[in-house]
Each structure stands twice: as structure tokens, then as C-alpha cells.
Structure 1
Amino acid sequence: MTASDVEWKETDVPPPPAFAEGRAIPIEMPTRSALNFSVDPETIVITNDGVVRYVVLSRSQQGGAFNAYYEGVRCSTDEVKTYARFNDGKWVEAKDPEWKPYRQIKSGYVSRLTYQGLCRGHGPQVSVRETVQLLRKPVREVE
């Protein structure tokens, strides 16, 4: 942990934003995933503390279960925090949300989302506009 990490303080987190599944951008996932993940581009915010906040949506590939999560990513530390979950038509705030390494999340959607465009190395993109452009047309590595 560096001195800047000790001094770092997260800005106040606003309530979860409204989202729409119809405008969501798909997150490229491995074919073995049983869920389809997407992010609503109109919910993406890059804050002064370096956190990228957004609403991610997940839906079963069989068309059943639907979930939404209001999250924040710290690109500098490879961590994610879930602030709220959309349940039964309303947001339910997480109790004592904590920063957790996103590479440990079983589904892997946060790692894919950060790679697809939320983060630029260990920092957020320059602007929300640039982030959305990258999410819509992610850069592919040459194999």
C-alpha cells in the first residue's frame, strides 16, 4: 500500500441511477458463461477520486432471471464495490459495501468490463465518451 492509497478517500456515492436494458452494451464473455452481462452507458460516471461507477445488468441465457448491480471500480487497485442490487423492481442498498479484488469474482464480468473499456491500465479512461466508444467497439488483441 502506498502513501497515496492511505490518503485516498472515496467521494460520496449518489443513489443508484435509472437504467434501461434496451440501451445496454453487451460485455464480451467466454462462451461457457450461462449469463449475458451488459452495462448501461448512460449510468457510467468517472469521479474525481478515480472510481468508475456504472450499472451492470445480467440475464440468464435462457431468458429468465434478471439482475442489476450498481457498482464502482478502482482501476488503480483492481477492486470493485457493489453499492446496490436491483431486486423486485427497486434498488436495495448493500450493507457495509467493501472494496474487493475483482479478479476473484467467479463470473469474471468485472475483469472483462474493465478490459473492454472501463479502465486504461491502472486508471480510468479520460472521459465517459471515450469509455462508451471502447465498450461499443473494444480493441481486439492480435492472436
Structure 2
Amino acid sequence: MNFKPAFAVSLALLLGVSSSVWAQPAGDDPEWTEAEVPPPPAFDVGKLILLDASPNSSLTFGVDPASIHISSRDGIVRYVMVASSASGARNVMYEGIRCATGEFKTYARYSPEGHWNAVSNPEWRSMYGNMPSKHALRFAKAGACDNAAPATSVQSLVKRLKSPNSGTAY
């Protein structure tokens, strides 16, 4: 094919931008601010939608679809994630994913005594960094994110989670 130089440069810039969108630190958009975080929602471990298991993990991860909220104010997908071991031990986290930057944040953890404990000073962390979050990344790829944008609705996100081959998150 014979491309004009301006088109080739535009294409290269477009490809460069699309491949680097996940690598941007949260501070790159000076206009963005996180909305006030709602309190952790109730969850039901009997209604979890399980995420594809990682072959290297002894844990299974699931999200309660009733806990998912997509904020139109800041673009954060917030949810309750449950990690379960084969012995029945559970870790439950209230988290958020910022699709625009490929980051996640843990807001609170559920205690064995049955109440939420807020994480002191929660910070955005890369899903790809030195300490990656395999479950947050799996959730993002399963449908929480459409490339650098959050899913268009909770309903479409839940549909993708229930039938992962029906849509393409990436």
C-alpha cells in the first residue's frame, strides 16, 4: 500500500497513544478528581460471578454483581471482590478501577467479625506494576473496562462477566 506521510504519522501517533494509555500515571489529567467514595455496599457470597482462574493462583475470585457501580462523575468502576481459598478462607475487598490509567485502589476490607475496615490512605496502584493486582486486571479485562473507558453500564458489564466470549473488553 502507498500511504501519504501525513497519514502514516497520524497512524503512528494514534497507535502510540492507544498503546500507552494504560501506562499513564493518575496525575496526567490535571482536571480529573475522584468523586466522594460511597460507603462499601452489601454483598452476597452466594451470588458471586467467578472470574477466570489464574493457573498460578490457589485462590478463586468473584464479584457480587449487585455491588458494582460505575460512576459517571469520575469514571471509576467500584465493586466488592471476594478471594476464596480451597480451605474456605475469604478476603473481601471494596475496590475501584480507573480504566483510563490502568489503576486500582482498595478502599476497605471486610473483617471476619462482619464489618468493613477502611484502608487508611488508599492509593491508586498500577494493575501492571511491580505488585500487580491479578484480580483487578482480570476484572478489567472481563468487562469492567473497554480499553481506557469504563463499561457503558452495569448491565452490560454483568452480561460480559456471565458470558465472557459474548463481548470484547479489549
How does the TM-score come out when normalised to structure 2?
A: 0.77
1:1-143 pair list within 5 angstroms = 5-48=29-72, 49-63=74-88, 65-88=89-112, 89-104=114-129, 105-106=131-132, 108-139=134-165
User: Per-residue deviation at 1:106?
Assistant: 4.5
Instruction: Kindly provide the amino acid, as one letter, of the partner of residue 58 in structure 1.
Output: A
Q: Where do 5+ consecutive residues of structure 2 fail to align?
A: 1-23
Q: 1:18 to 1:12 in 2, by over 3 A?
A: same
State the secondary structure of the residue aligned to 2:116. strand
C-alpha distance in structure 2 between counterparts of 1:3 and 1:102, whole Å: 16
Measure, in 2, the Cα distance between the counterparts of 1:4 and 1:100: 14
Distance 2:31 2:97 in 1: 18
User: Is the 2:107–2:122 contact (alpha carbons within 8 Å) kept by the matching residues of 1?
Assistant: yes
**Aligned-CA RMSD value:** 1.9
- Tell me if the contact between 2:127 and 2:133 (Cα under 8 Å) persists in the aligned partners: no
Which has the larger share of helix? 2
Q: Which has the higher strand share?
A: 1
> Is the contact made by 2:49 and 2:161 (CA closer than 8 Å) also made in structure 1?
yes
Q: How many residues are paired up?
A: 140
**How high is the sequence identity, in percent, across the aligned residues?**
41
- Measure the CA separation in 1 of the matches of 2:133 and 2:27: 32
Gaps of 5+ in 1: none
1:77-128: CA deviations, max 9, x gaps? 0000100000121100000001110123455111111101110111011110
Q: State TM-score, norm by structure 1.
A: 0.91
**Quick one: which amino acid aligns to residue 91 of structure 2?**
N
Deviation at 1:44, TM superposition (A): 0.4
**Distance 1:107-1:12 versus aligned 2 partners, 3 A rule:** closer
Large movers: runs of 4+ above 4 Å: 1-4
